[in-house]
Each structure stands twice: as C-alpha cells, then as structure tokens.
Structure 1
Amino acid sequence: MDNLFKSYGSIPVDQWDYYFDIDEQVRIPFPFTGEPAEHNYFIREYFTRGGKAEAMESVALSFDNLRLPNHINSVFFLGIMVYNNTSLHRKYKLENNAPGYKSFPFIWFLIALYHDNAYEMEGRDKLVEIQSVEELCRHFDIAELLLDKIVDCRYRALLDSRRNYFLYRKRVSGVVDHGILGSILLYDRLVKIRAEKKKENKGNRFWGRKLVNQYLKAANAISLHNIWMPTRATEQIYRDNNLEMLIGIQKVRFLDFPLFYILAVIDTIEPLKIYKDLKLPDIKILTEICIEFKKDGISLLKQEGSDLDFSRLIDKARSLENWIDIGVRAESDLVEITFHY
C-alpha cells in the first residue's frame, strides 16, 4: 500500500497521457512537484496541445485563475488510478481513438480538468442577467445545447432534472450552477472546435465525428456532479421548483452512468479539497494518506504517525451513500469503499 503522492508518480505515462507514443513533441511534466504554478501549467498545456484551449478562452475563463487547480489535477490522477487498478476498466470498456490514443484518459481529462472550471462564474454577483437556459444560450452564443441532446442512458431522472435544477439554483440560491454551466460551455465549444479543425485538416490530431459522442459523455457527467439530492427538510422546496423526480430517486449504480459515478466518487474523496482550509502543503496530505486497490473498490488509510484529522475524509466518503449506490466501511484511520454495479 503506497501513499497517494508516490502512487500518482508511479502511474504509467501512457495511462494519463493520451498522446504518449504518438507525438514526441507534446510531452507535459508531471504537475505534483511542489510548485503551485505547475498545476495551472499542466491544465493549460493539456488543453492547448490538443487544440482545445479555446474551450476556456472563448468564455473568458483563465488558466491562471482556476479554483483549486491542485484539486483538479488530483481528481485527474486519482481517477486514472482507480479506473485502471480496479474492475471498473473491465466493466466499462472504451475503444481507442485514431490514430491510436486511448479513449478513457481523453474523456477523463475533459471531465476532470473542466468539471470545476466554471466555478468562478457561480456567484450572486456573476451572470445576474441570466435567469433561464435560453438566456444563457444567447449570452454565450450556444449553438449545440447539451440539454437538448438525446442520450442512451440507463438512468434518465438526473439528466431530465437539469433544466429545472438550473432554474432552482437561480431562484433559491441566486447563482448559475457551475456544473450545468460548465457542461453546456464545454460541449458547445468542443463541437465547434472539432468542426473547425476537421475543416482545416492540419496536423496529426484526430478530429473525426466519433469525438462528438465522447464530448457528450464528458459533458453529461460534469452536468450532474453538483446536483444535490433533496433531504426531508428540502423536499417541499424541490416540489415547489418542479424537481419531484429527485425525491426518493433510486441511487445511481456504476453501470447506470459510469463516468458520472467515477466523478462522484473521486471528486468527493479527493483529499486536497477536503483539507484545503487547513493550508497544509499538498505533499504532506498526499504522503500521509495511503491507497490500496481491490477488485471492486479501494481503501484509504492514514499513514502511521500522521496528525491529519482523518475523520474529515471518512465523513466525505460516508456522504456518498446519500446519493450513489456504494458501500462505505470506516474505522478511525481507515475507510473502505466498495463499488456497486
């Protein structure tokens, strides 16, 4: 059982770098070097080398001002590890893209590195003029609206709730939900970028139509990650805002929506965000939490001698049981997570 820092550094490059062995000119450095700026650089370069930086720049999102870029990258690497070292990669197989790069790190890169990028627009003083999805589309010149796309999915209730949840967040919280906003922006911009790059027909990148479905998978996962399930105390509020479909909703299993399930687990238990208010060095947190992989789950263990308050991580892991179908068993310095398919 290795600590997270060592585990991140031990991931084979071809598992997290989908251009590995395809283009020698696009190598980017491992970001967990102790320098905060390396996280922003990693995210910028990952988008730029794939011709997708415009997905950020065209909506005035800055790579230099991302919220918690260390968390974003930790989600990326932790998700790669969990997918490849458990049975998840057997349960959910994806074909390679031309000219040979793997689909999962490509789609997971889009999900992990973009899932919180619209957070800077989620504030009571931001986008105040937008009161509906239609107004959002006009404001950002959305031509390909994610919420209108038909998805072959075993679990539709969450997808069908997104328009009303968008309105609910506006009415009750006074904000544009960053998960729904980010997913709409990402899908629209990527579809436009692909069409333009395909027309230009330059370089050795793959811009085939197959990518559109992968953009759809990534954006749908992002769109759901900030939708909260109602509690007994909030059930009436949800009814008042036409969100009855979320009351008593069946918990999501892995095969219902694989990419969303992975994002839900990883984004919840990622430790750099859990301990962010303590202002601890990343390397302290990542070296004092160990990870063990099992066929159907993972275990996280506090390193012997660590003074981390491990109850924080345990509480976050247990919160998963409120909205996805998962098993969580905890002791004072250990939490075991079991995936339900």
Structure 2
Amino acid sequence: MRYSDFIKQTISNENGIDWNYYKTGMPIENILQANRSGIFIRKYFESGGKELPLLLNPTEATNFINTYFAAGCKENTLSFDFSEMYLLPDDRAIHTVSGFFLGLLIESCLNGTRTLAIESSNQFPFAYLWFLMFLYHDYGYCVTERDNSPISTPERAPIPDMLFTWNPLRIHRKEYDALCRMKRELGIDLSLFSPYPGSLNRVGNFRQNNEINLQRALLRELTQRTFTVTGRPRLRFNTGAKIIGHQYTSIITTRYFNYCINERHKVDHGIVGGYLFYDRMVKNYLSAYMTVLYEREGLCVLGDFHYRDRHFCQEQLPIFSYIADCISAHNIWKQPEESRAAYEQYKLDVLLAENFKNITFQENPLLYILVVADSLEPTKVYGGLPPQKVSDAIDIEYLPAHHVLTFSSRNSEVSIEILYRKAKGLEDWTSVRCSELNEGKFTLHI
C-alpha cells in the first residue's frame, strides 16, 4: 500500500483508524504541501481549545490572564493573531503532519482494534495523546531554527568539571544558567520536573498590598495536581505499562542542553519544546478555567469543568507532564562513538553506550512510537525530494496487531536503501529489529 494511500484512507475513515479526536472539520486537502501542513497543526490545537501552547511571545504568555484579575474580563483569552513566528518551517510542518499519520499506522500495527489508551475514569485514547505529542514534538524549531528567534543562543554554557562537581548525581546551581535564560526569554514559569512554579519558591503568596495572588495560587494548585502520586503509578496504559517518572532526570536534561550549546552550537529543540508544552498547557488549562469561572459567576470546579464543549479535568495534568517529558527526551541521544569524551565531561552517565537503556514499547509506549515514527517519516528521510513524490513511492505493508512492517519503494528515485539505513539504525537505541534488505524490501519487527 502506498503511504499516500494510507493517509487518504485514514482521513476518509476507510480503514477504521481514529485520527480526528475532536470530530471537527479539518483542512485535509493537499495536506503534505507547504502552508497546508502548518494550518492543519494549528487547526487541530484550536479544535481542542488548546491554542496557548502555540504562543511563543513571552510577554503575552506571562501576562495571559492578568486582565481577568484586574477587571473580570470576559473576552476569550485564547484568541490571538497568529504570525510567522508561530508556524513551523514548511519542511518541519510537512514532516510533522506526515509523521502524525505514520504514528497512527505504527500504533495500529502494534495494537490493532485495541487502541492504546491511558486507563482513567476519563477516556484518553491514542488519538488524543498522539495529536498532542507528535503535532508538537518539533515545535521547538520555531525557537531554535529561526533567524528571528525569540531567544538568544549563549556562546557558552556551564560545564560540570569547571564547577568542581565530582558527584554526577548532584548538580551545581550554575549549571542551570543557560536553561533558566531560555525559560526567562520565552516566559516559561513552570518546569516539568518541579511541583511548583519557579517564581513561587519563596515564603508567602501575596501581592505587596497583601491581596492573595490568585493567578500564582492557582498555578501552584495545578502543578501540585500534576505531581501528586498516591502510592500508585502516576499513569497506567491499557497495555500494562506504568509511567512513574521521567525518561531522563532534570540533571541529565540540563547537562545535555548545555552540551548541545557548547558542542553542537545549537539550542536543543526537543528540550525547548518539552518545557514550552508543559508551561503553556498548564496555563491554557488555567485560562480556560478562568473564562468559565467568570461566565458562571463562580460555579466552576478547578479539577473538572467544560470549556467550549471541551472537557478539562485534573487527570489531564500528569498526562501533559508525561507528553512534555517525551518531547524533551525524543532528541536526547545515546552517546555516539566519537563523542564519548564529551559525554563523560558533561557527566551524561546514563547516555554512555554501556549504560544506555534502549527505548521499548513495553516500558514507554508513547515515546517508543514517537521515536520510531520520527526516525522513519519518509518526507524527512528523503528531504531533497518533493513530499508527494516520496509518499507516493513508499510502500508499507502490515497487518493490525502483528508487530511487523514491510517497506519497499515504487520509484527508483526514492531509493529504499536510504530508508533501510534509518530503520537499521533504530536497533542501536530502541527494541526495533530490522531484517536485511532483500529484493528491494526490508521488514521491521516492532
């Protein structure tokens, strides 16, 4: 089956794969073309009342509900004019939309009709989890790859050895300098690693005039709900997988962030995207709550309410944290052979070749599907060719719930050997197993 045909069949609901979680009209014509892919991403977030995560302007993001506390304003705080600053570059947007559908195919191959879901009193199926994760996973490129980037890249970031940090499990506070600078420039007040907003780490929660700062109090309440663990796994999938912590600690994430600045001369888009996602999703939740609170004159429960016919509940908050963690982790790489000395210098011990723990579906289902889809998405793999030509050329055969994908190409210009090399590389850091290339085909066991 041509990959382009799979996308068409999914959009038209011919194959029974649920992709449109909100069941609303979406721009689906010429979906893998410049401009069209970016609009698709934006419209999906708008459909769910989740526009705020797409907002990069730090002033607007930091002060997004101030008008409510000042005057009880009833305007929709999630309405703002989109500009080029909020849109992924065309190639990244096309990759994102194409990879979104590839992830749906991979999930079907893994689970069939028993779609992956998080067990909860509310329903959180794969279609909901996947749209949030994959349509946002590269959004950090809006920050890190733009000529008019809203942040400045530091010339140097702290190195552990320079700070006399002998214990790799402890971190000197100055190691956070570059990360804190990025958060400050983007108006990020919340951390996916901490139960409290950074600005609240002081005694008291009051304005100078002793009035209770409701905005900060509510942010504190929401982040506490995110990190509450009551002896049970924080999240449990219907496959039995339990998510009880982060893929990588705050220390590893921070040191990898610094490593990228110094050694790769760039700010890591995955870590930026993870921090952006969690900060904006929690604020989006609070903004929706404040809108409903004023409209209903106080008859609204923070942990369970409806906004624009969308259900918001406290069980979403640890999910936001988990998705942010996957976005942050998806671009943190196992030590390449030539980079061992640098990884050791930055004390990235868990990423060293002998210590790295391969990503598996059994232990971290969403992260696993994310990295496989991100690695094999054809329009990115064949970046020099027109996306439509690529999606028409690549054949993918599979049976639902059989865990096997077979790839081939119908066009000699789209050499299957290129995709094969990407698939073979997955063996080094995931549980994927890839056959040899034989007669223009290879098989992936997922």
TM-score (normalised: structure 2): 0.67
Matched, 1:18 2:18: no
Aligned to 1:224: 329
Listed as ranges, the gaps of 5+ residues in structure 1 are: 21-25
2:381, 2:419 within 8 Å by CA — same for their partners in 1? yes
Query: Superposed, which structure 2 residues align to 1:162-201 within 5 Å?
Result: 162-201=253-292
Decide which of 66, 72, 76 is 2:96's aligned counterpart.
72
1:158, 1:246 within 8 Å by CA — same for their partners in 2? no
The 1-side partners of 2:5 and 2:327 are apart by 28
1:179, 1:223 within 8 Å by CA — same for their partners in 2? yes
Decide which of 418, 421, 428 is 1:312's aligned counterpart.
418
More helix, by proportion: 1
Q: Which moved more, 1:308-317 or 1:50-59?
A: 50-59
Matched, 1:325 2:323: no
Q: Which amino acid in 2 is paired with 1:270? A: E
The 2-side partners of 1:298 and 1:307 are apart by 22
Q: Which moved more, 1:114-123 or 1:151-160?
A: 151-160
Decide which of 79, 85, 106 is 1:82's aligned counterpart.
106
Aligned to 1:23: none
> Deviations along 1:271-313, whole A, 9 cap, x unmatched?
0011112x32x2221121111224123121222x543211110
2:7, 2:101 within 8 Å by CA — same for their partners in 1? yes
Aligned to 1:30: 28
Q: Which amino acid in 1 is paired with 2:348? A: L
Query: Superposed, which structure 2 residues align to 1:93-108 within 5 Å?
Result: 93-95=117-119, 103-108=125-130
SS at structure 1 position matched to 2:433: strand
Q: Which amino acid in 2 is paired with 1:252? A: I
Query: Superposed, which structure 2 residues align to 1:234-313 within 5 Å?
Result: 234-247=339-352, 248=354, 249-277=356-384, 279-280=385-386, 282-294=387-399, 295-303=402-410, 306-313=412-419
Aligned to 1:334: 441
The 1-side partners of 2:276 and 2:101 are apart by 24
2:109, 2:403 within 8 Å by CA — same for their partners in 1? no
1:157, 1:246 within 8 Å by CA — same for their partners in 2? no
Decide which of 122, 141, 153 is 1:119's aligned counterpart.
141
TM-score (normalised: structure 1): 0.86
How many angstroms does 1:253 deviate by? 1.6
Specify whether residues 104 and 164 from structure 1 end up closer, same or farther in structure 2 by C-alpha distance, changes over 3 A only: same
1:329, 1:335 within 8 Å by CA — same for their partners in 2? yes
The 1-side partners of 2:256 and 2:6 are apart by 37
How many angstroms does 1:324 deviate by? 1.1
Matched, 1:214 2:319: yes
Question: How many residues get paired?
Answer: 328
State the superposition RMSD in angstroms.
Answer: 2.7
How many angstroms does 1:87 deviate by? 2.6
Query: Superposed, which structure 2 residues align to 1:53-64 within 5 Å?
Result: 53-59=51-57, 61-63=85-87
The 1-side partners of 2:137 and 2:87 are apart by 14
Q: Which amino acid in 2 is paired with 1:30? A: I
SS at structure 1 position matched to 2:254: helix
Decide which of 80, 103, 110 is 2:132's aligned counterpart.
110
Q: Which moved more, 1:289-298 or 1:172-181?
A: 289-298
The 1-side partners of 2:266 and 2:445 are apart by 34
How many angstroms does 1:186 deviate by? 0.7
Aligned to 2:219: none
2:260, 2:268 within 8 Å by CA — same for their partners in 1? yes
Larger Rg: 2
Specify whether residues 88 and 240 from structure 1 end up closer, same or farther in structure 2 by C-alpha distance, changes over 3 A only: farther
> Deviations along 1:247-285, whole A, 9 cap, x unmatched?
1212122122111110110000110011112x32x2221
